Chains A and B, each alone.
Chain A
Amino acid sequence: MWQTPSKPQSNHITERGKPMIEAVGLTKRYGRTVAVDDLSFTVQPGRVTGFLGPNGAGKSTTMRMILGLDRPTAGRVLIDGKPYAELDRPLQTVGALLDAKWVHPNRSARAHLRWLAKSNGLPNKRVDAVLEAVGLTQVAGKNAGGFSLGMSQRLGIAAALLGDPKVLLFDEPVNGLDPEGILWIRTFMQNLAAEGRTVLVSSHLLSEMALTASELIVIGRGKLITQSSTQEFIDGATGNSVLVRSPQLFKLGPLLVDKGFTVRDGADGALSVSGATSDQIGDIAAANGVVLHELSPQRGSLEEAFMQLTGDAVEYHAEIGK
């Protein structure tokens, strides 16, 4: 069912360095909850930018503010230099998929796209074109309420592509999809970026973003944690823990703690030391006559790195082992 995305039909290369999306001091409060807190970032064209943060970090809220659905408590966000509400025929500039369920269940996929097309002065043949692009032509006359999650998601993408926009926003587009669907969406987004478009995609999974995005905006509890290239983020955040195995850990452990390293119990009675290189640990062991059975640098998982970075910024701590 999944089709390879169609070849580029148009090019939207914008001058490098000029951001297509620019948020400045964006803040959103719901009563006493601060959902987004003084968030500033930029999104450049021509690449997929990942918008990463744990559940409740404020990703969806930020996206709703970018699109003018929610009114910021403070700050502003501009698309191509303008607030969303000031875009003329906005679907021709911005395509968004925030939630695949924003469709009337008793309306056919084609009718859904037809009213959207009409509202932005797009011809009906665009409707057929996007249905074709996402592989929904066969079921275009069926009610959207009967669609599977994958089909709904593709209908949402069709709606986003309708106006051939240069900016695309996707909120957790792969949530709940099977591997085939995930791969299709990932490829689709990368192709869109390769055509020079600006693609902002949110996720709470770094592993997913590592495969999709070349640039990351990482947030936690509504605050910006970092904006950097995905490679930089991963390099900076992983690979600084060392697994130590020794019959004299009772002696070595306190020595490492004294040096200010973080020591945790690893698997099979080993120690996991972070903040130290294997050289440093080896030297300390030798200086104190500690026998080492294993000393191996661990490349921490991306998820671990992410947890570490957003540690105190995670909204909902998993209550494991309590």
Chain B
Amino acid sequence: MTLLAVERIKLFSTRSPYWCSALALVLGVGLTAIIAASTDNGQLSLGVTQFGSSQLALSVVLVMAALAVTTEYRFSTIRATFLAVPNRTSALVAKTVVVAFIAGVLGEIIAFGSVGMAKLLSPASDLAINTSGEWRHVAGVGLLYGIGAIIAIAVGILVRQTAGAVAILLVWNMLLEGLIGIIPKAGVKIQAWLPFMNANHFLQLGGDNAAEQAGAGIDFKLSQWGSLGYFAGIAVALLVVALIVAKRRDA
């Protein structure tokens, strides 16, 4: 518990998490606002409210989480941390828990904020969250952020530099997984096992705009919750590797 408090103090005593959170909020909710404003009143569906939160804003949250580690390496406060807490694994796990939790809360705020924004701009549309699928589609964003943050922290620990970690995360999440689909035949099969594709699969909402949603056209072998478990499994595996590396190498 002490270590969680330590990481909380560290995180909230610098500005970058506030800026990143604000940016994620503006991008996530803002994109929904643009979509809502350009759709006829009454025609908006719940399935399009999370475009911003699950794509753009997610990227910002990944960057925020990676920064939480890479700035520590950048300014060598990681050494100060390891002096205070020589058990590196506990120190880094505490940081992961705090950052993932904050990312998760932020995800819920952005997801429900987006729905709220859509309701405000398109009051005649049916945006009620009733079915379990609809709940998963909206509330699931927080889970996505939390797990995404674990991946970002693992990458941050392994790479140690902000530029490198951010580049890897953005290219991976925004470009690479989508581009693999270009490979004839095999591409789509591979995509069914890529972590962020599975994350999007988890969020998918059947119905009218299923074809517009990320991950459409991929034949996933896992159930939607199975996909989330797979995404989480990869995140944890990556973190374990990062923790082992951090423990072994010189700080």
Query: Whole-angstrom distance between the alpha carbons of A120 and B249 in the complex?
Result: 24
Chain A residues within an 8 Å CB radius of B249: 71
Of A98-106, A228-236, A263-271, the one touching chain B: A98-106
Q: How far apart are B46's CB and chain A's nearest CB, in angstroms?
A: 39
Interface residues of B in 1-40 (CB under 8 A from A): 2-3, 5-6, 9-10, 13-16
Interface flags for A89-123 (1: CB within 8 Å of B; 0: not) read 01100001011011111111001101110111100
Residue pair B84, A90 in contact (C-beta under 8 Å): yes
Query: Whole-angstrom distance between the alpha carbons of A188 and B231 in the complex?
Result: 54
Of A16-24, A61-69, A272-280, the one touching chain B: A61-69
Q: How far apart are A126's CB and chain B's nearest CB, in angstroms?
A: 13
Residue pair A69, B250 in contact (C-beta under 8 Å): yes
Residue pair B3, A119 in contact (C-beta under 8 Å): yes
Beyond A69-B250, A87-B86, A119-B2, whether A99 also contacts B13 by CB under 8 A is: no
Of B50-58, B72-80, B136-144, B151-159, the one touching chain A: B72-80
Total residues of chain B contacting the partner, CB 8 A: 28
Query: Whole-angstrom distance between the alpha carbons of A112 and B82 in the complex?
Result: 14
Beyond A102-B75, A111-B13, whether A91 also contacts B6 by CB under 8 A is: no
Q: How far apart are B62's CB and chain A's nearest CB, in angstroms?
A: 21
Q: Does B245 contact A (CB under 8 A)?
A: no
Q: How far apart are B185's CB and chain A's nearest CB, in angstroms?
A: 45
Chain A residues within an 8 Å CB radius of B125: none
Residue pair A102, B248 in contact (C-beta under 8 Å): no
Q: How far apart are A96's CB and chain B's nearest CB, in angstroms?
A: 6
Interface flags for B62-90 (1: CB within 8 Å of A; 0: not) read 00000000011001110111111111000
**Residue among B84, B249, B251 having the largest count of chain A Cβ atoms under 10 Å:** B84
Q: How far apart are A128's CB and chain B's nearest CB, in angstroms?
A: 16
Residue pair B80, A116 in contact (C-beta under 8 Å): yes
Query: Whole-angstrom distance between the alpha carbons of A119 and B2 in the complex?
Result: 6
Residues of B within 8 A of A (CB): 2-3, 5-6, 9-10, 13-16, 71-72, 75-77, 79-87, 248-251
Interchain residue pairs with CB less than 8 A apart (20)? A64-B250, A69-B83, A71-B248, A85-B86, A85-B87, A98-B79, A102-B75, A104-B10, A104-B13, A104-B14, A105-B75, A106-B14, A107-B10, A107-B14, A115-B6, A116-B80, A118-B2, A118-B9, A119-B6, A119-B81
